[in-house]
Chains A and B, each alone.
Chain A
């Protein structure tokens, strides 16, 4: 009887530790530094590319040579920060 109980206790301890490990793994389920950097940098770059593209198109059609580019570059940069903020919020929510 005593022997059996001991074995059961051992088993339950083992299960607990495994579950803890699983929880820990889930908690730590994030990419390494490079993946994280890629994520953030692509967000900023993508928004900047779109901003500069719109700026150049606006300049081309409205003949407002430098101003469209300048204004939309700034908008693009701000949109990039907004993207990064959203990504960070999503990552925080996952934790």
Chain B
């Protein structure tokens, strides 16, 4: 669809091998390939880095322990004692988004988090899981989550729909934030890369310098968005335990 040199070309999905099961298109695409590589990188990194298990950790072991501690601290800060059970879930989510973003920062690599369907699927898993968790913990009392305490009763018909919509908007804001940040950042990089080539004489050096700075910022955003995704998941899990 897009022109050959469009800055949006990088987001196009190419089918690598076509697979169709009972009418559904389940082709292995460049997006699936990027996810596959991401999972492979995470698995190899985490298993190999803690393989030696020395008391004085090597650099690789230090990095993986840092990540472990980062999420463990996040969970114990936001959820508390109950949070330990959800460590594997939050950690996998964090690592998947983080490594996916970082692999997207390598030139010519595909960024699967720049597609809203991917981020929305992740957010929907969180949302549905947290809702089930809430019902599991509180039963039908979970509905009292939508009732703000200390509000006069005649305000409830107004406030309950607002609370419900606010609750339903969680997966959308969670997914749109990650997707929009990645999409905007990568498009901006490509647009400025276009300036480098088209600007006359040596003036192309200015956008080039800007791209270098922007790449650093993008790496920061890649980490920050993974962090935001993880911390919001923690907050939602906390909400499922402590109504209000």
Contacts from A to B (Cβ < 8 Å): 31, 35, 38-39, 42-43, 45-47, 49-51, 54, 72, 75-76, 78-80, 82-83, 86, 90
Q: How far is the CB of B128 from chain A (nearest CB, A)?
A: 15
- Contact residues in A for B173 (Cβ distance below 8 Å): 42-43, 45-47, 83
The contact size tier of chain B is 10 to 19
Q: Tell whether, in the assembled complex, residue B172 and residue A49 are in contact, meaning their CB atoms are under 8 Å apart.
A: yes
Interface pair B221/A79, CB less than 8 Å apart: no
Q: Known contacts A47-B169, A49-B172, A50-B168; decide if A82 and B181 are in contact (CB<8 Å).
A: no
What distance in Å separates the Cβ of A78 from its nearest Cβ neighbour in chain B?
A: 5
Pick the most buried of A31, A35, A54, A90: most chain B CB atoms within 10 A of its CB. Answer: A35
| Chain A CB within 8 A of B176 CB | yes
In the complex, B224 has a CB within 8 A of chain A: yes
A88 CB → nearest B CB, Å: 14
- Is B177 touching A42 in the complex (CB atoms < 8 A)? yes
A-chain residues with CB within 8 Å of residue B180 when the two chains form the complex: 38, 42
User: CB distance A38 to B181 under 8 Å?
Assistant: yes
- When chains A and B are docked, how far (Å) is the Cα of A30 from the Cα of B180? 19
Selected interface stretch from B59-67, B91-99, B159-167: B159-167
Assuming the contacts A35-B224, A38-B180, A38-B181, asked whether A46 and B172 have C-beta atoms less than 8 A apart, the reply is yes
